[in-house]
Structure 1
Amino acid sequence: MFNYLLKSIIPIIFAIVVTYGMFKGRKVYEWFIEGAKEGLMVCLRIFPYLLAMIVVIRIFRDVKLLDIINYCLKPISSLIGLPQELVPLIIIKPLSGSGALGVLTDILKQHGPDSYIGALASVIMGTTETIFYTISVYFGAVGIKKIRHTLLAAVCADVAAILSAIILVKLILF
């Protein structure tokens, strides 16, 4: 019974909203159509930004730039106690959530979810943000072009999340 109610919650809410709007004499269908039109226009406005992100990520992977960056960051990652296997996750996550999920899946298959690397990768995945994707979509949707301060704050937040994850996973889990 509970499972059926859980699966039906969205249609129930939808029916309640439509019924309430009809009893109040509102133009529910027209408002729905208008909202759908606005949603489509938002999709059209953000499409170039999304396409640019997809192309950049594809180029990043195809030219093996990730391996070169991973090699260059080896001294820094060893200094802060970050396993070398997690550098690709940290590099991809600000660009693409789905790309980072693929990297996380590979890490968990290779090292296991209960290992130090698996636990740290999971915490990093959950505490960092897809910075460039988020900025390009949301700022692109409203036409903001100057992102300097937002980008700096977001990168600082991600660095703080990564450093905190390293410390907390060592202290709490291992």
Structure 2
Amino acid sequence: MIALISIISAWAIPLLIAFIPLYGFVRKVPVYESFIDGAKDGFSTAVQIIPHLVGMMVAISVFRASGALDFFVGWTAPFLQSLGVPSEIIPLGLLRPLTGTGSLAFATDLISVYGPDSLIGRMASTIQGSTDTTLYVLTVYMGAVGIRNGRYALKVGLFSDAVGFVAAIAVCLVFFG
């Protein structure tokens, strides 16, 4: 069974990539021209969202360089440690909605320092899989389609990140704590 799953997973993406153009060709769709049109649209979309991405990157850099992240961690650490939550994991919960690369680097650092089988390593891995880079997603997608007022999407996204963070910690404490 495991061998069959390995074969399927190794061939799934190449077969899908081959299937899509073949299906278009059979349906008489100009496959290459459609690809070129999509690439042109993708380039113009990338140019449109660059200002939004730069603004977000500057805000993240200011947040970290100003000491606001360290202040927040120091302020919440005693309360969270009383609940059994290691203070080392708190910055990951704050960084994850902001930056995927930054949170991945932080999680990788936690895993290399504490080990992948430690409670902190398992929490870091679970948080990475349970939350999303909400501000990045909102910046890219809403910037691409020109939505200027995304406050409801922001509230829902950050709420879901908080729920994912708490659930990841709870699950790790129940199963590994």
Once the two structures are TM-superposed, the CA of residue 13 in structure 1 deviates from its matched residue by 4.3
Compared with structure 1, are the counterparts of its residues 126 and 22 closer, same or farther at alpha carbon in structure 2 (3 Å cutoff)? closer
Once the two structures are TM-superposed, the CA of residue 8 in structure 1 deviates from its matched residue by 6.9
RMSD value, Cα: 2.4
Q: What is the CA deviation profile of residues 76-119 of structure 1, one whole-angstrom value per residue up to 9, with x for unaligned ones?
A: 42344321101111111110010000100111111111111111
Aligned equivalents of 1:152, 1:10: Cα separation in 2: 35
- The answer on whether the counterparts of 1:81 and 1:166 sit within 8 Å (CA) in structure 2 is no
Aligned residue identity for 1:61: R
Once the two structures are TM-superposed, the CA of residue 29 in structure 1 deviates from its matched residue by 2.0
Question: Which of 23, 33, 37 lines up with 1:34 in the alignment?
Answer: 37
Aligned residue identity for 1:158: D
Could you tell me the TM-score, scaled by structure 2's length?
Answer: 0.83
- The answer on whether the counterparts of 1:111 and 1:118 sit within 8 Å (CA) in structure 2 is yes
Compared with structure 1, are the counterparts of its residues 21 and 156 closer, same or farther at alpha carbon in structure 2 (3 Å cutoff)? closer
**Equivalent in the alignment of 1:131:** 134
SS of 1:106 mapped into structure 2:
helix
1:72-151 alignment to 2 at 5 Å?
72-151=75-154
% of aligned pairs identical?
A: 36
Q: Which ranges in structure 2 are unaligned for 5 or more consecutive residues?
A: none
Matched, 1:43 2:46: yes
Aligned length: 173
Q: 80-89 vs 12-21, which deviates more?
A: 12-21
Compared with structure 1, are the counterparts of its residues 148 and 76 closer, same or farther at alpha carbon in structure 2 (3 Å cutoff)? farther
Could you tell me the TM-score, scaled by structure 1's length?
Answer: 0.85
Matched, 1:167 2:170: yes
